[in-house]
Structure 1
């Protein structure tokens, strides 16, 4: 008899990011800044110290110490992963039993519910308000009434570009018995992190990444921070050698350069502010065609009735942004990339008003 996939696998489709050769990529929320050549040269020399015939440090000790030093957190509370995606998969598959409920918010990062689905958990969705903000009291009620075992959301949010302030997140954590998994992938661009408080809570895991502000999307580094008990559990359920030696070495080198990272962070934030301001100008010029959300991330979300048409028009011009139904998510790029995006976007908007 032929082999048959089980019900949860048979209709799955792979994650489908934009592929193709586009001159301007503003679709994946990566940093537009490459690592400085002097840092790359240091990384090349560091490769000579790696024993390629040996497994990597299972605890990624040097890397976690560098992370701890940069963020001012005890490295004993930090566990490294192969990107934040690995942590999402591990947490869903380990902290959820079949039939348990995982609560996510909508809109948010689409993979959260997917990993819950693979864990055979029941999905509960809290729908954000029309303005894409979260009513924390309503969210708390949804968690408690549903009996969810895990609450998972991003703050600041991808794709809305909006964030919950620190005191609101604290209220959520202390008002539910569920495990709160707080994905702070974009918190480098804001100032409302709970990373420094993570040891105070028995039901909190914070995820961070090197892919957005640090310009290291290629090496796939993510971190989970939690109190000692949860940290011990996370280290027990991850695979023993989950972060390769090359990524560990490069990650530690980069995070040991705080001045460089802060300078890059400042450039990205300035780019996002400039992009947002220019998009707001287009909004005032074409009020029926776009609405620009405020942002505390490295991207801007724009609601457009012709989002798909504009998205395809930009692709034809060699510019990739993220199409999300009736919105476009636009990553802040270099000054030149932003200028090209805005020029072509206005061309597309004006063509519809002046046929």
Structure 2
């Protein structure tokens, strides 16, 4: 018998991030800085305490406690995942029935729609169109009768964000499960993470991939009330976070010396200012990247690639991560040459 590939997979294109060939990577919103040499030594010592012949702690209890202490919440409300992606896919597949509606916003993280469609849920797409408030999204969720809504705050890829009060009002007024992805909130101060334990209908997601410079560990966290947390822990795989990531993530959260949020956010603001002569009208950013809407996006991205610089290309737009000072200088030098042609 020949295995049948279902239509929901046949119609999908695999996510294909840049993997090699660039000396400067400004495409994935990663930190340009590796963890410190001192922390790396602590990580090496932590390996001696790992029983590699045993499965890891199924609830990643020590890791969740470290996360909870770092963010001022109780660990009983925290679920660890193999990156936020695992948690997004798990929530969408486990908390909704087949055919129920899910609202996503555009532009936003493309994997939201991917996971929703893979779970055979009805996808409703709300076009942001630069809307400064959540009023339009609130009305759209109500009109479509969506069972869930998911969006990033601050927004990936625009770099803009909704303030805490607005997001809380949205969640409290929504007759739907609200999944708020705060992957970039470490660069801003409008989080609802501390509110998640008392909200009846919300998951708030975080990651160690950005500020903490630990994308290689694939560590994400979901924070929610006790009922939602218990259900999510029931749905997840028993040993979803490996022992090495648990140990290293705990060290990162306890040490916080890898937290360069202020430095990277400042670098993004300076980068935006330096890019304005080439791309007037770039919006303010509250993240570690800038978003540029331009009809020249494809041509600019191709030229930067020829100079060994990777940026993220969208239809008529670019997203550029703030790198190190040297990387940002190289980017600006390349753009000067491009526009001097």
Shorter chain as denominator, the TM-score bin is: over 0.9
- Structure 2 counterpart of 1:279: 275
- Regions of 4+ moved over 3 Å: none
- The superposition leaves residues 119-148 of structure 1 with CA deviations (integer Å, 9 ceiling, x where unpaired) of 10000111112xx23542221111111111
Query: After superposition, where does 1:188-207 map in structure 2 within 5 Å?
Result: 188-207=186-205
* Pick aligned residue for 1:266 from 262, 267, 279: 262
- Structure 1 counterpart of 2:92: 92
In the alignment, the residues of structure 1 paired with residue 263 and residue 14 of structure 2 have an alpha-carbon distance, to the nearest angstrom, of 34
Give the 3-state SS of the residue equivalent to 1:249 in structure 2.
helix
> Does 2:109 align with 1:113?
no
In the alignment, the residues of structure 1 paired with residue 328 and residue 135 of structure 2 have an alpha-carbon distance, to the nearest angstrom, of 38
CA shift, 1:267, in A, is: 1.9
- Contact 2:35–2:258 (Cα < 8 Å) also in 1: no
Higher alpha-carbon deviation: 340-349 or 236-245:
340-349
CA shift, 1:279, in A, is: 1.1
Give the 3-state SS of the residue equivalent to 1:236 in structure 2.
helix
> Does 2:159 align with 1:161?
yes
In the alignment, the residues of structure 1 paired with residue 309 and residue 82 of structure 2 have an alpha-carbon distance, to the nearest angstrom, of 29
In the alignment, the residues of structure 2 paired with residue 26 and residue 224 of structure 1 have an alpha-carbon distance, to the nearest angstrom, of 27
- Contact 2:133–2:162 (Cα < 8 Å) also in 1: no
In the alignment, the residues of structure 1 paired with residue 286 and residue 262 of structure 2 have an alpha-carbon distance, to the nearest angstrom, of 13
- Contact 1:133–1:162 (Cα < 8 Å) also in 2: no
Give the 3-state SS of the residue equivalent to 1:70 in structure 2.
helix
- Contact 2:36–2:258 (Cα < 8 Å) also in 1: no
In the alignment, the residues of structure 1 paired with residue 41 and residue 133 of structure 2 have an alpha-carbon distance, to the nearest angstrom, of 48
CA shift, 1:151, in A, is: 0.4
Query: Structure 1's 115 and 242: CA in aligned 2 closer, same or farther, altered over 3 A?
Result: same
Give the 3-state SS of the residue equivalent to 1:292 in structure 2.
coil
Higher alpha-carbon deviation: 305-314 or 5-14:
5-14
Structure 2 unmatched ranges of 5 or more = none
Structure 1 unmatched ranges of 5 or more = none
- Contact 1:301–1:330 (Cα < 8 Å) also in 2: yes
Normalising by structure 1, we get a TM-score of 0.94
- Contact 2:269–2:284 (Cα < 8 Å) also in 1: no
In the alignment, the residues of structure 1 paired with residue 219 and residue 173 of structure 2 have an alpha-carbon distance, to the nearest angstrom, of 31
Higher alpha-carbon deviation: 119-128 or 135-144:
135-144
Give the 3-state SS of the residue equivalent to 1:296 in structure 2.
coil
In the alignment, the residues of structure 2 paired with residue 255 and residue 194 of structure 1 have an alpha-carbon distance, to the nearest angstrom, of 19
> Does 2:4 align with 1:14?
no
In the alignment, the residues of structure 2 paired with residue 87 and residue 177 of structure 1 have an alpha-carbon distance, to the nearest angstrom, of 21
Give the 3-state SS of the residue equivalent to 1:282 in structure 2.
coil
Query: After superposition, where does 1:1-355 map in structure 2 within 5 Å?
Result: 2-129=2-129, 132-258=130-256, 260-262=257-259, 264-283=260-279, 287=280, 291-351=281-341
Give the 3-state SS of the residue equivalent to 1:120 in structure 2.
coil
